[in-house]
Amino acid sequence: MAPDQRSPHSFLHAIRVCFWFTVAIFFLALGLTVLCFSPAEDKVANSIVLEATVKPATKSLWRVPDSAAIPRTEKGALILYGRELVAHTAKYLGPKGTVAQISNGMNCQNCHLEKGTKLFGNNYSAVASMYPRFRARSGQIETVEKRINDCLERSLNGKPLGKNSRELRAITEYLMWLGKDVEKGTRPAGVGLPELPFLPRAADPVKGRMIFEARCSECHGHNGEGVRNSDHVEWKYPPLWGPESYNVSAGLHRLSRFAGYVKANMPYGVTYDKPKLTDEEAWDVAAYVNTMPRPHKKFPEDWPDLTSKPFDHPFGPYADTFSEAQHKYGPFAPVKSATYKK
């Protein structure tokens, strides 16, 4: 065959090779593009903590990071400002606040003790590791900022901070700094509040009143009114009920949360490993405090899935036939074992 002649079959084969080579190059380029330029939302989604991915609590107790290591940078200044806001919320955001007047006058650390660092004192150690996360209360993925504003609206019976405000960024940076050494998806030992064994009976507000008078009224007042500092801006001992206390949608209005709180931290100065109240006393005094009047601010969109509603949420509707009184005071064992996921 002459050099300039080509077999038709050879020519078609060459075309096929070129075609498939081009296709392969196209899909390789497409894959690299997706890998390198994937939307930020996908990266955020990969960091979301779902209940199924939460790891068991670490065995070693959480340690507060050394504040001397906070960098002397703009970010470091935000962390320090956030710590100041948690410690003295009323000074900046209370009724006489210098930045805004959007809260009831309590400080964040009235509930999150020692600036949110005390072991089993409602500390913030797991914020960085657990957010963003899905929360059954809202039925949505929540950010740290959403969680902070929830506390302002519920525990401080106030209004949310602006999403671009320096104050919201500062509190967020402080909380993230506190948990910077905690592995993602992990709740360290000492986080939150202890879970007390259930009583075989309902918690008793009448017994709780006697415990309150004997062990709590010295600091919080006989009428739960609290004691203010000499500046009349902040509380030395916060009010436990009344118009200046947390509202009915706050976490501490659940008996299990309040009972765990007082068991590990009250009377003032107690630590989790040296409690002064028995479990029974903690449940009963929680029943008394949460029976007393406080601001009513409800969020009707809470708990879209009723089977995820906490067993001790004090207001219906529920996914079972137990009474509202039993959901509030117990006995809780049969309620929790009914249809509830948590």
Q: Report in angstroms the alpha-carbon separations of 337 from 82, 248, 320, 332, 334.
A: 40, 25, 11, 9, 5
Domain count, the chain: 2
What pTM does this model have?
A: 0.84
What pLDDT is recorded for position 60?
85
Specify whether 305 is located in the same domain as 214.
yes
Q: What CATH number does residue 260 fall under?
A: 1.10.760.10
DSSP characters over 288-322: HHTTS-------TTS-SSGGGS-TT-SS---SSS-
Question: How does pLDDT run across 81-94, given as a tens digit for each residue?
Answer: 999 999 999 999 99
d(CA 59, CA 241): 36
Question: How does pLDDT run across 50-73, given as a tens digit for each residue?
Answer: 555 566 666 789 999 999 999 999
Specify whether 227 is located in the same domain as 171.
no
Specify whether 164 is located in the same domain as 210.
no
Question: How does pLDDT run across 224-273, given as a tens digit for each residue?
Answer: 999 999 999 999 999 999 999 999 999 999 999 999 999 999 999 999 99
For the residues 110-137, what does the mean pLDDT come to? 97
Token couple for 182: 């905690």
Q: What's the domain range around 328?
A: 205-336
Does residue 262 fall inside a structural domain? yes
Specify whether 241 is located in the same domain as 322.
yes
Specify whether 332 is located in the same domain as 272.
yes
Average model confidence (pLDDT) for the chain?
Answer: 88
326 Cβ partners below 8 Å, 6+ apart? 202, 332, 335
d(CA 106, CA 94): 7
For the residues 188-193, what does the mean pLDDT come to? 95
In whole angstroms, what separates CA 221 from the centre of its chain?
29
Specify whether 90 is located in the same domain as 170.
yes
For the residues 145-169, what does the mean pLDDT come to? 98
